[in-house]
Structure 1
């Protein structure tokens, strides 16, 4: 039995990545359980497993006491000294109590417990591996789907892609290879549970880190991301190196870098704008591709009034307000958009310190975001 057991431990250690010490501990625990169950014993025992000789020995552990109240757990000092004169009160005496047919029974009953401990150890290893991958991107293979989830294989484990995290413009089929963003790793009684997303802004950020070496090495910094998954996104980038064009680095030669990301996201449009510490410049950049004439800042309310040419008003607002909404998320500023004509009639353009905005105008579009939406 010893050579077979030793071979099994070596295989499990190599294939499952579980240390031999963990497996031996599991086997010894299983043998203790087998002894107590099969021989109806309630005493405190220890099992010694010797892989070298293939022997399994059971030792009853008893406390040395002055007066014995439970002979299964205690031994008198007089009896202990007969075994070894050096024993004193509160010492522990070990007496071998190995049954004759213990090997056969142990082999049968330990298998289930060992299997369980091995499974637990595997789950622990998988959890340790994936807990470090939270907020990271992985490539998975679609396995199956139901009304609520898409199940994606990440190699050692199957992740869950909830319906709310699926892109509306995508159809997922078994065996499709997709990149997913790991949002949460939970430890459950059935093992690690991994949740992934295709709509999270972090997915877009990680894709740019993969495709753009300048972002990966820190030359270009990706400052913020605003995303409406499957439709359109905006990112802001900056650099401390004057000779580097942060927007051009992300676009790549002939648009190759950004196009690779667009392809991965099944045609999602991506606007890349340059970040600026000046909110006027940043808000104007964020409203790209529309032209901006003026940005009026209200520091107290963290709000802006943006004036655009009349013919650019629809472009600045975007379809269903999308362009302005994404710009507000990207910058963290509230954005009110006014046409040039309406701004002149309201007396706020061109800028004049003696003038201030008094009346409400029906062409004004406001995107008032909560803190959660801005983040």
Structure 2
């Protein structure tokens, strides 16, 4: 058994990457349990496994006391001094109590415990390996699906793709190769659980890093992403090098770079806009392909603005079902109200008329106030004259 055990430990370490120390700790714990079960539960025992020879020794650990109350846990000072005169009260002595048939019993009893510890070690290895990929992109193979998840094989583990993390109208078949974003990795009681996504905005960020070297190197930076998975996305980029056009770099020659990303996302439309430190310019860029005439910010709330576009560009600026305006608002983190030039002219005309009326009302009020003051002054004078005449 000793040679077989050592060979098994070497195989586990070589093939599954589980260190001998982990298995030996599990083995010793299992042997203690086996001994107590078969030879005495109340004994305090230790098991020593020799890593070089594979020998197993069981020791009963007893404490040196003046008077023995429990012979399985204690030894008298008198008996201890017969072994070694240096022993004192409170010391512990190990007595070897290895039974002759303990090897067979230990192997049978410890098998399940060892396998459990081995499974736990394997789970920890897998968890540590895949937790390093959290917030990163991986390629997997679709294996199967049920009412809740699509199961994607990532190599050593099967990840789950929930309905909300799927791209709408995208159909997955067994053996399909897809790129997924690892949103989180959990270490559950049943083992590591990996959750992946196809609809997460950061999937776009990782795809840009894969397809565009300048983004990966940090020369072109992705500032923000607004995405409605499967339909359309807007990506704001800027360059740390003034000689490099960030939008042109991401689009690539004849649109080859961005087209590779669009193909991976099954035709999801992609708008790449240039970020600008001036919010008005950035908002105007974000509404691409619509032309913007003016951006007016609310003086009370700078996160709210009104965008003026030509009449014939109004529907383009708003987009189908308001999508273009909605994505621009997400991209810039502003509330955007889009108005046509004619609407703004009408607004300003109404504003001017109301302003004139307010001025007239103010003048009328001022005249009435002046008359009232004059009447009060005259009354005061009359009262003063009457008083003087009486005197």
Normalised to the residue count of structure 1, the TM-score between the two structures is 0.90
1:202 is displaced (CA, Å) by: 1.0
Residues 318-329 of structure 1 mapped to structure 2, 5 A cutoff: 318-329=319-330
Greater CA deviation, 230-239 or 131-140? 131-140
Determine if contact 1:219/1:241 at 8 Å carries over to the other structure: yes
Determine if contact 1:127/1:187 at 8 Å carries over to the other structure: yes
**Unpaired stretches in structure 1, ≥5 consecutive residues:** 356-375
Say whether 1:330 aligns with 2:325: no
Greater CA deviation, 32-41 or 290-299? 32-41
Summarize deviations over 1:65-109 as a string: whole Å, max 9, x none: 233332222222222222222222222211111111001111112
Summarize deviations over 1:102-149 as a string: whole Å, max 9, x none: 011111121111111000001111111222222111111111100110
Alignment partner, residue 88 of structure 2: 88
Residues 264-279 of structure 1 mapped to structure 2, 5 A cutoff: 264-279=264-279
Alignment partner, residue 366 of structure 1: none
1:310 is displaced (CA, Å) by: 0.7
Alignment partner, residue 369 of structure 1: none
What is the RMSD of the two structures over their aligned residues, measured on CA atoms? 1.8
Determine if contact 1:294/1:307 at 8 Å carries over to the other structure: yes
Say whether 1:15 aligns with 2:15: yes
Residues 25-174 of structure 1 mapped to structure 2, 5 A cutoff: 25-174=25-174
Q: Distance in 1 between matches of 2:318 and 2:79?
A: 93
Q: Distance in 1 between matches of 2:269 and 2:299?
A: 31
Alignment partner, residue 347 of structure 1: 348
Q: Distance in 2 between matches of 1:208 and 1:39?
A: 66
**Unpaired stretches in structure 2, ≥5 consecutive residues:** 356-391
Where 2:71 maps in the other structure, the secondary structure is coil
Determine if contact 1:63/1:92 at 8 Å carries over to the other structure: yes
Q: Distance in 2 between matches of 1:33 and 1:111?
A: 12
Alignment partner, residue 182 of structure 1: 182
1:267 is displaced (CA, Å) by: 0.5
Q: Distance in 1 between matches of 2:46 and 2:300?
A: 71
Determine if contact 1:2/1:51 at 8 Å carries over to the other structure: no
Q: Distance in 1 between matches of 2:334 and 2:297?
A: 9
Greater CA deviation, 9-18 or 71-80? 71-80
Determine if contact 1:201/1:227 at 8 Å carries over to the other structure: yes
Summarize deviations over 1:18-50 as a string: whole Å, max 9, x none: 111111111111111111122243212111112
Change (3 A) 1:252 1:68: farther
Change (3 A) 1:193 1:306: same
Determine if contact 2:234/2:328 at 8 Å carries over to the other structure: yes
Alignment partner, residue 202 of structure 2: 202
Determine if contact 1:123/1:191 at 8 Å carries over to the other structure: yes
Q: Distance in 1 between matches of 2:71 and 2:299?
A: 81
Summarize deviations over 1:184-211 as a string: whole Å, max 9, x none: 1111111111111111101111111111
Determine if contact 1:2/1:52 at 8 Å carries over to the other structure: no
Higher helix share: 2
Determine if contact 2:46/2:59 at 8 Å carries over to the other structure: yes
Determine if contact 1:169/1:266 at 8 Å carries over to the other structure: no
Alignment partner, residue 312 of structure 1: 313
1:63 is displaced (CA, Å) by: 2.1
Greater CA deviation, 50-59 or 156-165? 50-59
Determine if contact 2:6/2:54 at 8 Å carries over to the other structure: no
Q: Distance in 1 between matches of 2:297 and 2:69?
A: 85
Q: Distance in 1 between matches of 2:222 and 2:139?
A: 22
